[in-house]
Amino acid sequence: MKIKPKFRKLLKWSARIIVYGFAFYGLAMSATYLAVKYKWTNVGGVVDRNNPYFEVIQDRKFSAKDPENGSQQDLITLRRILILEKFYPENARKILKVYKTPGQIHIAIQMLDATDLRLKNNADYRQEMKRLAAEIKQKGSPENLFEWMNVPEWQAFKEAVVKDRAVIDSVAEKVGVEPRLIIACLVGEQMRLFNSSREGYKRYMEPLKVLAMESNFSFGVTGLKPFTVRQIENQLIDKNSEFYLGEAYENLLDYDSLEIENIEKNGWNDTLEVRLKRLVQFKNHYYSYLYTAIFLKQIKTQWEKAGFDIGDRPEILATLFNLGFNKSKPNPNPKVGGSRYQIGQKYYSFGAVAYEFFYSGELLDVYPYKTKSFDWAGFDPAKSSH
């Protein structure tokens, strides 16, 4: 069969295209092989100009998880968020949300690092960050805002008070007086003794981490006077007293049979000797705290009956604890004060020291704030009678 000329021409060009196609494909494959072999196709990468900054960020990732640097790091992170909030509130809000999520503070720090990178050319932002950095690096600043807490005696005192936690909490639950308020009165008395009993501190308190014990005119770790202690006892059972707390509290300070037996056997006219023995037990400060807590509640009750609520005034309650029942005159303008003494190079009043401790946040992990200083939600007066 004879092929027509036009079909013969079409077949001829089709064959050429196929041959040339294979030839081109082969050439391309060979070129690709040579390019790969001799690395002609490698793209020349660049190092980001912010690479040193990313290295600093990487170091922060590890320090962010360092538990020993926790509290300071938390404060710095919050400061950084507040600075960012001045410029970009929405970004600050998102970072704060992550910061508040348990276990994610290190992510919040990385988010802040990312914003730092973006704002590195923002002069106002950089100025704020430089100011924060300068504060962090500043040397020689006192550890505590309240200067009297920077004396070495304060550290020994804190350790001693932590040892008494179980006893203080027990008293608080029995009487309905917040532990921090009891300790505020203890602080006022113990800090007063730091200067007057300096040698005693060096010899006993600092090495043993124990509280100073008074045994001359005042007794126990809170410095209770015998006359005041007897008043506290009498006012628990005197239903006509303006300090009377109620039947649930009447038996709080009852003497047990052994104590009564000792009183009768020795022919004492009253319980003075036994009373003082309660207060001067070196290893057990239960009665010092118990009498202190009852005094505070009796004073608070007296003022409340007169129409004045001082339940949220630790500075007034501590002042009156220091001065005694006779100085407690309910009025609309009570004054903070009490004994004046020196701590370090400055002078303080008993009430002011108690106030500063109460609101300082010191020992917060051990003695947190309650919703109320007296008779908080869940307190049961019936416990007092047991």
Residues across the chain:
386
Q: Which amino acid is at 140?
A: G
CA distance 297 to 336: 18
With 90 as the cut, is the pLDDT of residue 262 above it? no
Give residue 56's pLDDT.
52
pLDDT band at 64 (very low <50, low <70, confident <90, very high): very low
Residue 270: pLDDT band (50, 70, 90) is low
CB 206 within 8 A of CB 153: yes
pLDDT at 272: 64
pLDDT for 304 = 97
Does 60 or 124 have the greater pLDDT score? 124
Does position 178 have pLDDT exceeding 70, yes or no? yes
Instruction: Say what the pLDDT of residue 319 is.
Output: 96
- Indicate the pLDDT class of residue 293, thresholds 50, 70 and 90: very high
Stronger pLDDT, 323 or 24, i.e. the higher one: 323
* Band (66; pLDDT cuts 50, 70, 90): very low
Q: What is the mean pLDDT of residues 330-349?
A: 89
How far apart are alpha carbons 228 and 219 in whole angstroms?
11
C-alpha–C-alpha distance, residues 331 and 230, integer Å: 25
Q: What is the pLDDT, as a whole number, of residue 211?
A: 65
76-132 pLDDT, tens digit each:
889 899 999 999 999 999 999 999 888 888 889 989 989 988 898 899 999 999 888
Query: 168: buried, middle or exposed (CB in 10 Å: 19+, 13-18, 0-12)?
Result: buried
The mean of the pLDDT values for the chain is 80
Q: What span, in angstroms and rounded, lies between the C-alpha atoms of 135 and 48?
A: 31
- DSSP class of residue 202? I
Range among 36-40, 49-53, 145-149, 328-332 rated most confident: 328-332
d(CA 364, CA 269): 45
More confident residue, 382 or 100: 100
Q: What is the mean pLDDT of residues 256-265?
A: 62
Distance CA 212, CA 189 (A): 9
Helices (H), 1-69: 5-37, 51-63
Q: Which of 70, 73, 96, 98 is nearest to 83 (CA)?
A: 96
pLDDT of residue 265: 61
pLDDT at 168: 96
**pLDDT at residue 185 greater than cutoff 90:** yes
| Range with top average pLDDT, 70-74, 156-160, 162-166, 215-219 | 162-166
pTM of the model: 0.67
Write the CB contacts of 48 (distance below 8 Å, at least 6 apart in sequence): 54
CB 177 within 8 A of CB 375: no
Top-confidence residue, 129 or 281: 129
Radius of gyration of the CA atoms of the chain, in A: 38
Q: Specify the 3-state DSSP secondary structure of 342.
A: strand
The conformation of residue 384, written as its DSSP 8-state character, comes to: G
More confident residue, 278 or 263: 278
Most confident by average pLDDT, 63-67, 201-205, 224-228, 298-302: 298-302
Domain boundaries, the chain: 52-137, 148-385
pLDDT on residue 343 = 81
Distances (CA, A) of 367 to 112, 158, 174, 204: 34, 11, 16, 25
- What percent of the chain is modeled with pLDDT above 70? 69
Q: In this predicted model, which residue has the larger pLDDT, 348 or 207?
A: 348
Taking alpha carbons only, the member of 310, 300, 349, 358 closest to residue 183 is 358
**φ and ψ at residue 298, rounded to 5 degrees:** -65, -40
H or E element in which residue 372 lies: none
pLDDT tens digits for 220-256?
889 899 899 999 999 999 999 999 999 999 999 987 7
**Of 64-78, 136-150, 185-199, 278-292, which gets the smallest average pLDDT?**
64-78
Please give the full DSSP string across 213-232, using - where no structure is assigned.
-EESSSEETTTB-HHHHHHH
